[in-house]
Amino acid sequence: MNEKPELQMPLEPERYELSAPPTYHFEIDRREWFKFLGAGLLVVCVSKSVAAAQESGGSRPAPGEALPKEIGAWLHLGENGVVTVYTGKVEMGQNIRTSLSQGVAEELHVPMGKIQMVMGDTQLTPFDRGTFGSLTTPTMNLQLRKVAAAARNLLVDLAAAQWKVDRQRLVAADGKISDPGTKRSVEYGILVKGQQLTQTVPAEEALAPATQWTVAGQPLPKVDGRDFVTGKHKYPSDQKLPEMLYGKIVRPSSFNATLVSLDTHEAEQMPGVTVVHDGNFVGVAAPSSVIASRAAAAIKTEWKSEAQPSNKDLFEYLKKNVTEGGDPTGAPTRYDAGSVEQALASAEHRLQQTYTVSYIAHTPLEPRAALAQWSGDHLTVWTGTQRPFGVRSELAAAFRIPEENVRVLMPDTGSGYGGKHTGDAAVEAARLARSAKRPVKVVWTREEEFTWAYFRPAGVIEVASGMQKDGTITAWEFHNYNSGAAGIRTHYDIANQRIAFHAARTPLRQGSYRGLAATANHFARETHMDELAHVVKMDPLEFRLKNAKDARLRDVYQAAAKKFGWGKAKSGAGQGFGVAGGSEKGGYVATCVEVAVDRASGEVKIVRVVTAFECGAVVNPDGLRNQIEGANIMGLGGALFEAVEFENGRILNGLMSLYRVPRFRDIPPVESVMLDRKDLPSMGAGETPMMGVAPAIGNAIFDATGVRLRSLPLVPNGLKLD
Amino acid sequence: MAKMQINVNGSSRTVEAEAEASLLSVLREQLDLTGTRYGCGEGQCGACTVLIDGKARRSCLTPAAAAANKQITTIEGLAQGEHLHPLQEAFLAEGAMQCAYCTSGMIMSGVSLLNSNSNPSEAEIVRFMEGNICRCGTHPRIVAAIRRAASALKESGR
Ligand code: FES
Ligand code: FES
């Protein structure tokens, strides 16, 4: 059963939030659509240019004509009154299944229970680049609300025509149109019975302002919460098909290794086992996971690789290996204003410091998993990914088949945090399934997840600044090596700036992580701000406010400080207070932290965290609070102790017992203050609330001990005081 | 392969399992009880927690053979028909989940705690739940849910 090598596994040395080319093909025509969905009303959101073209050719596409390509989302209202919403976004704990439903309920005036969401299925949902970058709320929520509002208007028109009355007197509420004058009413489903109505909506349509929301803006519970507390929900790793086999990959002994010898004899003798060897890819498929592991263990391999850098030389390596590349996300990498040289020369105080951040692992509690099934040259894969359409492209490329032949489905997955952008497990499962001629499921072990996924980039950040005696910052020079350009700009008002990101060769495979480099950049910037405040002996909060004009930034600082009780006297030895804040992805954050440092043992305890956050109009306050708390708690890990250790192409701490993540005893009370700006568009909240916690902790440790920490993690082995 | 009797959620099932098979793999692969999750396979995360004779156990480290003829409860067996266990209710009421991948294990551990201590203090909850990881950071809500369930149980006199 051993196959000849014929396919190279695609190796992706680094992955950020890259965009797959929008090679979107709409496979089902309109007639097909209604055949598939049943009669009713279909509303599609398209970008303006396409909508205009549609309208000039009549408002409805001709029968058989494909739907427009630049579709953001669509919605179907069936004869039974059920509203089905189609979006390429995916749910992995950020609660968008609920918050997007809320937006639709709000505009369409239907109960939440009538809405179902179809998400992240490349065959049924519109093309989507992926679920990341806190973009779902500002874009998808808006598009769906527009689609829903258009559907409601259409329903009002239908009822008005049917009853021959002025549409102004009709009311849409609770899934019905009614006429208060005649007390007549009709359910939405009845109105569209037997019809095949379509409408396109330009993305620019005006919407009800947040001040008039009734459903959106409410703290609604998770729509399918019951499935989770009863264990009924099927994650990608829970998927199963008849005849399915369990896959297991034989991993190289180190990164960048080449296979030099292979002996699969013993494994091939095992009943029901298929061994696949294809280039550097070696794997097995077997009737149970136990036998798959046994077979993989019986395969003897020898690998060869070059010497590779280790984490003790990491920061030196990054600085020495600067490359020409820009930021992989396409973010601008340079900002200049005024003259930093002159400002530094004339400054009354100058400060120069270097900050570092380690690689860290996403450690989603559900590891990567995929189930693949071939039918001829058509491939269907269920997998946990933030980019179903990107994974479809990866699969098409790996197996040299057209994208139309590949369907990727994403059952709500056990979190991602930016770590599930690639389709590694999907490609592996599909490769095994092709040879085994049966469906194959691959679920990565925790160790594989720690080793063969990708990491948050490590980085070195150098800051040089100049300041007047009164605490006015006049010069700001900021160089980030490798960790990325997200959040690299300062939101303080400084006349002379030079800010630059420098890409570097990376010893480990790196990619997106919740908040991208904004965490590293905020850490360096906000630690440096604290150091400057100390130089001029100013209160750190006052110092920040002195240098910040941005009203939204000032508001979150003041809100956090108020809730925290900033400025109160210390009440015990080892107590320290710290503050940090900033802005990213349209959200503003400020965090105050209290720490208690035990000088004898070096133990640092986080006593309390207060985070103020503002991201425009709040859609679901409880969901938002959950995100703010979660981001701060997750942020504690990277702040205090998470770091990937590696040596010569091997991960040294790739087990849950070796890589420390926050546990119950590490968790302080996290208080959040949400500033609801109903006058501003809603922005995402999955990432930005995390930015303040690491520098605020570092600053609080300084306040408690006078020890300035400039590396993340801050205290992987406790605080060394001497 | 050895034949064994697994008593799970009140019914007795006969399975054939390899000698090295964990209870987790038998539950998930043979009995289709996928509500019990894999998170680490090394007893470190608690996602695979089930009750064996009423006590929280990590099914990833429990050989299937060692669980034979004992009473096993998984997350699927906690509700009585449509009637959720008070801790399941409390998780919903507190919104104590994001991706919810940890939820099964958290609830099973929490039930085990409540079985032995009907009114745990916050410190006792934190100590008992230390072996369960939530990566999404819902810990404070989980603690609140356990406390809520404790008072619900007290009120209902169970
Ligand atoms: S899977 Fe059993 S403790 Fe993690
Ligand atoms: S809710 Fe995601 S791991 Fe706990």
From B22, B26, B36, B60, give the residue whose CB has the most ligand 1 atoms within 8 Å, as the site to mutate: B60
A187: helix, coil or strand?
strand
List CB contacts of A169: < 8 A, sequence separation 6 or more. Answer: A179, A180, A181
pLDDT of residue A722: 67
* Nearest to A329, CA basis, from A154, A139, A585, A565: A585
Cβ–Cβ gap A664/B76 under 8 Å: no
DSSP 8-state secondary structure symbol assigned to residue A653: S
Q: Which two three-digit tokens encode residue B155?
A: 């009120």
CATH fold, domain A33-229, is: Aldehyde Oxidoreductase; domain 4 (3.30.365)
Query: Which atom of ligand 1 lies nearest, measured to the CA of B133?
Result: 4
Number of residues written out for chain B: 158
pLDDT grade for A48, boundaries at 50, 70 and 90:
low
A123: helix, coil or strand?
coil
Residue B71 sits in the same domain as residue B120: no
Residues of B within 8 A of A230 (CB-CB) are 35, 75-76, 78-79, 84, 88
Burial of B156 (0-12, 13-18, 19+ CB in 10 A): exposed
pLDDT of residue B90: 98
**Listed residues B21, B42, B77: the one ending a domain:** B77
Cβ–Cβ gap B37/A445 under 8 Å: no
Averaged pLDDT, A133-152: 82
Q: What is the pLDDT of residues B52-77, one digit of tens each?
A: 999 999 999 999 999 988 999 999 99
Q: What is the pLDDT of residues A271-298, one digit of tens each?
A: 999 999 999 999 999 999 999 999 999 9
Residue B26 sits in the same domain as residue B71: yes
| Location of structure tokens 């919403």 | A85
In one letter, which amino acid is A668? Answer: P
SS (H, E, C) chain B: CEEEEEEECCEEEEEEECCCCEHHHHHHHHCCCCCCCCCCCCCCCCCCEEEECCEEEECCCCEHHHHCCCEEECHHHCCECCECCHHHHHHHHHCCCCCCCCHHHHHHHHHHHHHHCCCCCHHHHHHHHCCCCCCCCCHHHHHHHHHHHHHHHHHHCC
Chain B contact probe: residue of A228, A233, A672 with most B CBs at under 10 A: A228
- In chain B, the percentage of residues whose pLDDT exceeds 70 is 99
A339: helix, coil or strand?
coil
Closest in B18, B76, B125 to A290, CB measured: B18
* Cα-Cα end-to-end distance for chain A: 64
pLDDT of residue A18: 32
pLDDT grade for B21, boundaries at 50, 70 and 90:
very high
Averaged pLDDT, A417-440: 94
Closest in A238, A294, A667 to B34, CB measured: A238
Given a cut of 70, is residue B9 above it in pLDDT? yes
With a 6 A CB cut-off, is B101 part of the ligand 2 pocket? yes
pLDDT of residue A533: 98
Residue B152 sits in the same domain as residue B94: yes
pLDDT of residue A525: 98
pLDDT of residue A222: 84
Give contacts of A 432-461 with B, CB under 8 A.
443, 445-446
Q: Could you tell me which residues are beta bridge partners of residue A504? A: A322
pLDDT of residue A62: 31
Distance A224 CA to ligand 1 centre (A): 25
Distance A484 CA to ligand 2 centre (A): 27
pLDDT grade for A65, boundaries at 50, 70 and 90:
very low
Domain residues for the domain of B41 are 2-77
pLDDT of residue A514: 85
- Phi-psi domain of B110 (left: phi exceeds 0; alpha: psi -120 through 50; beta: other): alpha
Q: A222 CB near a chain B CB, below 8 Å?
A: yes
Burial of A400 (0-12, 13-18, 19+ CB in 10 A): exposed
Residue B92 sits in the same domain as residue B147: yes
Q: How far is CA A703 from CA A409, A569, A602, in A?
A: 50, 12, 15
Q: Which two three-digit tokens encode residue A312?
A: 């003790």
A505: helix, coil or strand?
coil
Q: Measure the CA–CA gap between A390 and A20, rounded to whole angstroms.
A: 6
Q: Which two three-digit tokens encode residue A437?
A: 């001629």
H/E element holding A253? none
pLDDT of residue A66: 38
**Listed residues B26, B48, B77: the one ending a domain:** B77
Report the mean per-residue pLDDT for chain A: 88
Residue B69 sits in the same domain as residue B6: yes
Give contacts of A 659-698 with B, CB under 8 A.
661-665, 667, 669-670
Report the mean per-residue pLDDT for chain B: 95
Cβ–Cβ gap B33/A231 under 8 Å: yes
pLDDT of residue A213: 73
Residues of B within 8 A of A237 (CB-CB) are 34, 37-38
- In chain A, the percentage of residues whose pLDDT exceeds 70 is 89
Is ipTM over 0.90?
A: yes
Q: Could you tell me which residues are beta bridge partners of residue A248? A: A284
pLDDT of residue A208: 64
pLDDT grade for A204, boundaries at 50, 70 and 90:
low
Q: Check which CATH number belongs to the domain holding B34 and give it.
A: 3.10.20.30
pLDDT grade for A47, boundaries at 50, 70 and 90:
low
Lowest-confidence region among A47-51, A250-254, B32-36: A47-51
Given a cut of 50, is residue A21 above it in pLDDT? no
List CB contacts of A476: < 8 A, sequence separation 6 or more. Answer: A340, A463, A465, A490, A492, A494, A496, A497, A498, A499
Averaged pLDDT, A577-581: 98
Residues of A within 8 A of B75 (CB-CB) are 229-231
Distance A93 CA to ligand 2 centre (A): 7
Cβ–Cβ gap A365/B34 under 8 Å: no
| Location of structure tokens 């006199």 | B157
Q: What is the pLDDT of residues A70-101, one digit of tens each?
A: 677 789 999 999 999 988 889 988 888 998 99
Q: What is the CA radius of gyration of chain B?
A: 15
H/E element holding A718? none
Residue B65 sits in the same domain as residue B120: no
Cβ–Cβ gap B18/A288 under 8 Å: yes
Residue B69 sits in the same domain as residue B18: yes
**Listed residues B77, B111, B138: the one ending a domain:** B77
Q: What is the pLDDT of residues A160-183, one digit of tens each?
A: 999 999 999 999 999 999 999 899
DSSP 8-state secondary structure symbol assigned to residue A112: G
pLDDT of residue A543: 98
**CATH number of this structure's domain A236-305+368-443, picked from the four choices 3.30.160.60, 3.30.365.10, 3.40.630.30, 3.40.50.10320:** 3.30.365.10
Q: What is the pLDDT of residues A314-347, one digit of tens each?
A: 999 999 999 887 776 667 788 999 999 999 999 9
Pocket of ligand 1 (CB under 6 A): B 38-41, 43-48, 58, 60
pLDDT of residue A17: 43
Confirm if B18 and A290 have CB atoms less than 8 A apart. yes
Averaged pLDDT, A428-455: 97
Distance A407 CA to ligand 2 centre (A): 28
Residue B95 sits in the same domain as residue B136: yes
pLDDT of residue A585: 86
Q: What is the pLDDT of residues A688-702, one digit of tens each?
A: 999 999 999 999 999
Cβ–Cβ gap A664/B35 under 8 Å: no
Distance A630 CA to ligand 2 centre (A): 9
Residue B55 sits in the same domain as residue B108: no
Hey, do A33-229 and A236-305+368-443 end up sharing a CATH topology, with the first three levels equal?
Answer: yes
**CATH number of this structure's domain A321-360+455-712, picked from the four choices 3.50.50.60, 3.30.365.10, 3.40.50.980, 3.20.20.70:** 3.30.365.10
Domain boundaries, given as residue ranges, for chain A: 33-229, 236-305+368-443, 321-360+455-712
Q: A231 CB near a chain B CB, below 8 Å?
A: yes
- CB atoms under 10 Å from CB of A609, counted, come to 28
| Location of structure tokens 């102790």 | A641
Number of domains in chain B: 2
H/E element holding A531? helix A518-535
Q: A289 CB near a chain B CB, below 8 Å?
A: yes
pLDDT of residue A205: 61
- In chain A, the percentage of residues whose pLDDT exceeds 90 is 71
Residue B49 sits in the same domain as residue B107: no
Q: What is the pLDDT of residues A644-665, one digit of tens each?
A: 999 999 999 999 999 999 999 9
Q: Check which CATH number belongs to the domain holding B108 and give it.
A: 1.10.150.120
pLDDT of residue B139: 96
